[in-house]
């Protein structure tokens, strides 16, 4: 974790495990926005605030573009895979330690088709899904800067521009909807990731 200013975690039962970085969070969506920046070339996230039962809302940073791939001359688009399930009960809100997901295991047990998204199309899709959701579940890496949040909500395997190849540390985003007890899990990949 980059910053140890973790006052919002002081009463968390899993604080020591959370400091190691990877987590799972469940919360009620509060609001979302496209990342504000004076330079439009630096905008690459949708920010989603959720109420996970902490002292302050938790900020989720969801990539809508790969600046690193773009700047290295590769395809900057995000590939998104979605699988749907019917839920029988909603998970309990909170912030929990989690080792990370493995997209290879998920893809071997679900029929996931990945589609390329241009940045604005992905921003619009995410905003629409967030507005429809009654609950959000996320897997990623905990961070603390001005606020506490979760980022790295995507595949962590090597990409065209990033040679590091951690396995089993992937992140994802799950939307729960009131209608038909439907949930959708979104998987995110960058150029060159398997």
Q: What is the mean pLDDT of each run of 10 residues along the chain (194 residues)?
A: 49 55 95 92 96 94 97 98 98 94 97 97 98 98 87 97 95 97 98 96
Q: What is the pLDDT of residue 17?
A: 53
Q: What is the pLDDT of residue 146?
A: 80
Whether residue 169 lies inside any domain: the answer is yes
Q: What is the C-alpha separation between 56 and 49, in angstroms, rounded?
A: 10
Whether residue 194 lies inside any domain: the answer is no
Whether residue 1 lies inside any domain: the answer is no
Q: What is the C-alpha separation between 132 and 121, in angstroms, rounded?
A: 17
Q: What is the pLDDT of residue 147?
A: 81
Whether residue 153 lies inside any domain: the answer is yes
Residue 27 domain boundaries: 7-189
Instruction: Name the nearest CA neighbour of 140 among 108, 166, 111.
Output: 166
Q: What is the pLDDT of residue 4?
A: 44
Q: What is the pLDDT of residue 2?
A: 42
Q: What is the pLDDT of residue 5?
A: 44
Whether residue 21 lies inside any domain: the answer is yes
To the nearest 10°, the Cα dihedral for 55, 52, 48, 101?
130
pTM beyond 0.95, yes or no: no
Instruction: Name the nearest CA neighbour of 100 among 12, 16, 24, 33.
Output: 24
Q: Indicate the number of domains in the chain.
A: 1
Whether residue 60 lies inside any domain: the answer is yes
Give how far Cα 35 sits from Cα of 47, 122, 124, Å.
6, 13, 13
Q: What is the pLDDT of residue 184?
A: 98
Whether residue 2 lies inside any domain: the answer is no
Whether residue 154 lies inside any domain: the answer is yes
Q: What is the pLDDT of residue 3?
A: 44
């Amino acid at each position: 974790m980059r910053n140890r200013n973790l006052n919002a975690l002081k009463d968390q039962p899993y604080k020591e495990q959370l400091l190691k970085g990877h987590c799972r969070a469940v919360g009620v969506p509060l609001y979302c926005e496209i990342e504000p920046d004076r330079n439009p070339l630096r905008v690459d996230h949708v920010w989603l605030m959720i109420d996970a039962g902490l002292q302050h809302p938790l900020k989720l940073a969801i990539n809508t573009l790969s600046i690193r791939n773009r700047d290295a001359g590769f395809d900057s688009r995000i590939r998104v895979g979605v699988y749907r399930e019917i839920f029988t009960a909603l998970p309990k809100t909170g912030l929990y330690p989690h080792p990370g997901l493995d997209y290879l295991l998920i893809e071997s047990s679900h029929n996931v088709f990945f589609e390329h998204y241009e940045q604005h199309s992905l921003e619009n899709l995410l905003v629409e899904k967030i507005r429809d959701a009654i609950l959000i579940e996320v897997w990623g890496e905990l961070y603390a800067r001005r606020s506490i949040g979760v980022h790295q909500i995507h595949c962590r395997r090597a990409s065209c521009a990033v040679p590091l190849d951690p396995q089993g540390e992937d992140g994802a985003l799950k939307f729960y909807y009131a209608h038909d007890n439907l949930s959708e899990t979104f998987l995110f990949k960058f150029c060159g990731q398997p």
